[in-house]
Every structure is written in structure tokens, then in C-alpha cells.
Amino acid sequence: MGLLGDLFRRSKTSETSGGAPSSPLLDWMKVDIHNHILPGIDDGSPDVETSLQFLRKYHELGISTVVATSHIRHPLFPNDKGTIREAYERLESAPGRNEIPVRLLHSAEYFIDDHFLDLVMRDEVMPFGGGYVLAELSLSNRSYLDMEQIAGQLIDREFRPILAHPERYLYWSKSPEMFHRLKSYGWSLQLNLMSLAGYYGKIEQKVATTLLQEGLIDFVGTDIHRLSHFDVVRSIDKELLETLKQTYLINKLLTI
């Protein structure tokens, strides 16, 4: 399994006693590009007060910028620019918001289907960071979409496609060549940090490790939906996080 695999097998690093205080856990990451922080519009934060707690937790972790990526998946989460903007403004104008030093932006996590492709054709997607667009596939049903053609449509319109949590598509877990093909088509790959803690399952954890070992990951994201997920992120092996700090990630280069 190599270095990353060895790190998973090691026991959790004991707490440091004395000496200089350690830096925040994710200060190296700087920007979280995948989360469900906006209140009451998908399966993430249910209300403004919870969203404010999310922001406080992000600050504790050292994250300076959060790109809110609410689901757009019809008919389950029928969001659009209007509903997302309204939820964003409710959070930004909430009492106490200006006391939390975390910058908040808004975009979306698009489910790849005909509705998404229609939004692309009409130039109605919400990119971030100079054209990046975060999109996901079904977790349960094998995707037979032409991912090369979809990437091409996005790139032709000067968007930069990112595929969310590739390690969670179990129908590709035994087809590692698919991830290489996705990269060749123009997709960037975004890893969920909680996958490294085994939160979604052992297979997802193994695929996540392999993707990192093979240098296929471009972004990391928390994909946090609820407050308890912050505890999952904090449970990730600290030596593994140290390794991630040295990994090339676009998060650390974003200027948004």
C-alpha cells in the first residue's frame, strides 16, 4: 500500500504535551470547495444557527474560505440560482455572522443529468474560482454517461469540471483505469476528507488511498452535512494529514 497505506495502519498519534501550540488542523487547505452549509435548502444545515456553528467550526479548523455547494438535483433538491442566493444572503446577514472570520461564497454541487446539461447549454451554472464547476454522479446506479463529452461541453464554455468524491462510486472501485480516463477527459477529481477516516466504508477508504497514492486527486473537500461530521474530520490520522500538506492540491492555489 506504500506510505499512505502504512499511515492507516499506524495507531493514532498521541497528543502532544507541552511545547508550542500546533497550527489549526486544516490551515494548509485554506479553501473548502464542497459542503452543505447553506440553511434549509438541501440535506445539509437545517437552519441559520446551525450554519453559523458550521462557520465557527471551519474557523477552528483553520479554513479561511468556504464555497457553499448546495445540491441541485431535480426533483429531490430543486434548487436554482435564486434559492441558493436567498439562503446565502440569509446566512450572511444573520446576527453574529460578521464576528466569524471566514469568507463565504456560493456555488452548487450539480447532479449530472439532463437538467444539468440544459443549464450548461444556457450558461446558467454557477462557477467559482475562475470557472470551476462541481458535479456528482449517482452513488448507487452505475454511470454510463459519456463523461468525455460532458467534460468537453463544459470546457468549450470555459468551465473547469470537477467530479465530486470519485472514491464513493463503488461501481468503479474495481476499474481504476476509469479514474485515469476521467483525468484525460479533463475532469479534476475531488476527494472527501471523511473517506480517509473510513466514514463511508472500507472500500471507499481504500479507493481514496489509492487515488492519493497515484497522484490523481486535485482537490479535497469536507462534504460536511452536519455538525458531527467535523468530529469525523478531526479523527483523520494526523500523520496522513501531514502527508496531505505536501501533496499538490488546487485548494491551496485558489485565489477567490
Contact 52, 45 (CB under 8 A): no
Contact 125, 135 (CB under 8 A): no
24 vs 62: CA distance, rounded Å: 5
**Residue ranges covered by each domain of the chain:** 26-248
- What confidence tens digit (pLDDT) does each residue in 202-235 have? 999 999 999 998 999 999 999 999 999 999 999 9
Whole-number pLDDT of residue 243: 82
Quick one: average pLDDT of 35-41?
A: 98
Collapsing DSSP to helix, strand or coil, 221 comes out as: strand
- Confidence band for 184, pLDDT divided at 50, 70 and 90: very high
Domain 26-248 has CATH 3.20.20.140: yes
Whole-number pLDDT of residue 242: 87
Q: b vs e for 46-61, b when ≥16 Cβ sit within 10 Å of the residue's Cβ?
A: eebeebbbbbebbeeb
